[in-house]
Amino acid sequence: MKRFLALLLALVLCLAVVGCSSTDNKLTEIEKKGELVVYTDPNLPPFEILGANSEVVGVDIEIAKAIA
C-alpha cells in the first residue's frame, strides 16, 4: 500500500510539473493586446452592479482595476 501511495504521489507531482511548463507566455500576450478582459455578472451587489451609463461597478471591478 505504501508503494502504491508513493507511486501515486510521484505521478501527481510529475503531472503538476508538466502542467506548469508552458511554451506560450500569457503576460506577453496581454501586454501586446494592451487590455485585460474580466468577465462578471452585474446581478450580485455589492460585488458588481450596473451603475450610470450601464457601466458595471462594484468591489470586484475595483479589485480587477487594482490588479491591472
Tell whether 26 is covered by a domain: no
Residue 53 within any structural domain of the chain: yes
* Structural domain count of the chain: 1
24: in domain: no
Indicate whether 23 belongs to any domain: no
CA dihedral sign, ordered 26, 31, 32, 36: positive
- 47 with 58: CB under 8 angstroms? yes
pTM of the model: 0.48
Which range marks the domain in which residue 53 is found?
Answer: 34-68
Residue 49 lies in a domain: yes
Per-residue pLDDT of the chain (68 residues; tens, 9 = 90+): 888 888 888 888 877 776 665 656 777 888 888 888 888 888 887 788 888 888 888 888 888 888 87
22 occurs within a structural domain: no
